[in-house]
Structure 1
């Protein structure tokens, strides 16, 4: 099993687990609110944080599958050589964005949150754990784009 397949499997399992946790969390919220008549105080916040993780990790997964939104009307009319050059530029742009915004920016956000000791209101967990998904997803996207580049180069 190659690196991409392993990464795909790990990410898909993580996303399934997060989604299952989110469903259970919402079910508990509905049950506690309408059946027990005592709404849970942490479920809204936990759902929000799980949604953040599933959205950003999902974006990394979609990037690895090359299933992200793209408009290829103009590119498809170009020669094969030009299409490959544009694909390379797009891969580099995605990797650059991931490096600057997700890894560097996300790491700074995580660091500042740890230093300031920011905690979530209901769960009282460090917010840095919530923000940790940014540099993690950035690294995953860069790994995917690097693998894609080297696989295309070897073909």
Structure 2
């Protein structure tokens, strides 16, 4: 299971890296062509926009998997483990509900745009909107796996709710070194 998760995470990262690389090549190439040769690639801006959207949506799956999304832990970190587990389950059920709404909305967009093509690239817009389905299903899978782990393991809640107490704890040795060098006067 860990190998599959690691492989999928690496595949997502590679796909996002290629998207970013292709976007940079398209934009840079278009800028050079416009300024040097007074012409450009007509579809590069549109393709870059589509790649950017896909990259962000794919990145959100990886961010959820690695607990890198923005979170507010002010209340949760003060709860006992049993209440943390309940709060965790409630929040993940709400996430699943939001993902269901995204899935339904993406499906409707795909159906509405089956016959529409992007003006410059000619790509079917239904392919562009398909990322909503991919993202919502991918994130739902991650959420269900996390909920499964938390429900079946007693110690899993502390690993699942990885929250840092403060900036000092997040930065660790970097913060301590900065404090030592500044004589403790740095905030």
Q: Give the TM-score of the pair, scaled to structure 2.
A: 0.77
Deviation at residue 152 of structure 1 after TM alignment = 2.3
Q: Is the 8 A contact 2:96 2:140 kept in 1?
A: yes
Point out the structure with the larger helix share: 1
Across the aligned residues of Structure 1 and Structure 2, the Cα RMSD in angstroms comes to: 1.3
CA offsets 1:93-115 (integer angstroms, 9 cap, x no match)? 111111222x121112112211x
Q: Is the radius of gyration larger for structure 1 or structure 2?
A: 2
1:120 maps to which of 111, 118, 121: 118
Partner Cα distance (2:149, 2:78) in 1: 24
Q: Is the 8 A contact 1:107 1:135 kept in 2?
A: yes
Q: Give the TM-score of the pair, scaled to structure 1.
A: 0.91
CA offsets 1:4-32 (integer angstroms, 9 cap, x no match)? 22321221111111111111111111121
Q: Can you give the 5+ residue segments of structure 1 that lack an aligned partner in the other structure? A: none
Partner Cα distance (1:24, 1:47) in 2: 9
Question: Equivalent residue for 1:108?
Answer: 108
Deviates more, 1:17-26 or 1:133-142: 17-26
Question: Equivalent residue for 1:94?
Answer: 95
Question: Equivalent residue for 1:60?
Answer: 61
Question: Equivalent residue for 1:78?
Answer: 79
Runs of 4+ in 1 over 3 A off after TM superposition: none
Partner Cα distance (2:71, 2:55) in 1: 21
Q: Is the 8 A contact 1:4 1:147 kept in 2?
A: no
Q: Is the 8 A contact 1:4 1:144 kept in 2?
A: no
Aligned residues: 152
Using a 3 Å threshold, how does the CA distance of structure 1 residues 90 and 62 change in structure 2: closer, same or farther? same
Question: Equivalent residue for 1:153?
Answer: 151
Deviates more, 1:4-13 or 1:130-139: 4-13
1:27-38 to 2 correspondences below 5 Å: 27-38=28-39
Deviation at residue 143 of structure 1 after TM alignment = 0.7
Q: Can you give the 5+ residue segments of structure 2 that lack an aligned partner in the other structure? A: 154-187
Question: Equivalent residue for 2:166?
Answer: none
Deviates more, 1:8-17 or 1:120-129: 8-17
Partner Cα distance (2:109, 2:91) in 1: 26
Deviation at residue 46 of structure 1 after TM alignment = 0.9
